[in-house]
């Protein structure tokens, strides 16, 4: 079974953590646009410089730049056997671009991780210390959540419309949540 998966969820829902585990389980690459941007920024590439201001303010990097980066990543052979996208798409325009990019071999599932956003705010702010992320200060976290509500949440309806949305309760032990997702994906 080939898995071509998107992970959706609010900032702090645990997408990154689950992405790594699911990629390992299904032996597919986990592609995190946030991680790709951070790599570009630490390399000091042109793309990294373009993206940095948006990221540090808690805003989305413009669709054209983001889609270009994902398209480039999809040129690699390793996505042929499936993949898991973490943090992309984040807008309906990106979702349209992804559908077009994939063509006939479209997504097999979109997993939406559900948490109480208010509950994860302290966790997100705490992450600044442990991961050294520049976008986890209180103010930026609030902006990222606002952006999620306004620009990313509409993807819920978008993928309900495609009949591929799978909602997962993402409150609880990390292992348990992984097993919930695997069970839904293998059904
Ligand atoms: P993440 O690690 O997924 O939380 O992403 C960190 C930051 O990178 C986000 O707050 C955005 O500024 C930027 N970013 C990541 N993915 C996207 C995307 N699909 N579209 C636009 N910006 C993104």
What share of the chain in percent tops pLDDT 70? 98
pLDDT tier at 166 (50, 70, 90 boundaries)?
Answer: very high
- Comparing C-alpha atoms, which of 4, 9, 6 is closest to residue 145? 9
144 has catalytic annotation: yes
Burial of 77 (0-12, 13-18, 19+ CB in 10 A): exposed
List pLDDT tens digits, range 88-133: 999 999 999 999 999 999 999 999 999 998 888 888 888 766 777 7
Q: pLDDT band at 85, cuts 50/70/90?
A: very high
Ligand 1 atom index nearest CA of 62: 21
The pair of structure tokens assigned to 53 is 């201001």
**Ligand 1 pocket, residue 152 CB under 6 Å:** no
Give the lowest-confidence range in 11-15, 94-98, 160-164, 173-177.
11-15
Q: Which two tokens stand for residue 100?
A: 């077009």
CATH class, 3-185 region? alpha beta
For the chain, the structural domain boundaries read: 3-185
Could you tell me which residues come within 8 angstroms of residue 23 by beta carbon, excluding any fewer than 6 positions away?
29, 30, 84
Compute the distance between CA of residue 68 and CA of residue 49 in angstroms, rounded to an integer. 15
**Confidence class for position 138, pLDDT limits 50, 70, 90:** confident
CB-ligand 1 contact for 148 (6 Å cutoff): no
Q: For 13-56, how does the pLDDT look when each residue is reduced to its tens digit (9 = 90+)? A: 999 999 999 999 999 999 999 999 999 999 999 999 999 999 99
pLDDT at position 121, please? Answer: 86
**Atom of ligand 1 at shortest range from CA of 37:** 8
């Amino acid at each position: 079974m080939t898995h071509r998966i998107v992970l959706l969820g609010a900032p702090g829902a645990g997408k990154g953590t689950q992405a790594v585990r699911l990629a390992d389980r299904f032996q597919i690459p986990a592609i995190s646009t946030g991680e790709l941007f951070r790599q570009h920024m630490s390399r000091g590439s042109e793309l990294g410089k373009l993206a940095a201001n948006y990221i540090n303010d808690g805003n989305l990097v413009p669709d054209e730049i983001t889609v270009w980066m994902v398209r480039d990543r999809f040129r690699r052979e390793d996505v042929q056997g499936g993949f898991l996208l973490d943090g992309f798409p984040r807008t309906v325009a990106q979702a349209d671009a992804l559908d077009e990019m994939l063509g006939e071999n479209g997504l097999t599932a979109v997993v939406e991780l559900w948490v109480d956003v208010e509950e994860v705010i302290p966790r997100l702010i705490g992450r600044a210390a442990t991961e050294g992320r520049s976008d986890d200060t209180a103010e930026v976290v609030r902006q990222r959540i606002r952006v999620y509500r306004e620009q990313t949440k509409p993807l819920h309806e978008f993928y309900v419309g495609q009949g591929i949305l799978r909602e997962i309760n993402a409150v609880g032990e990390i292992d348990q949540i992984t097993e919930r997702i695997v069970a839904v994906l293998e059904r």
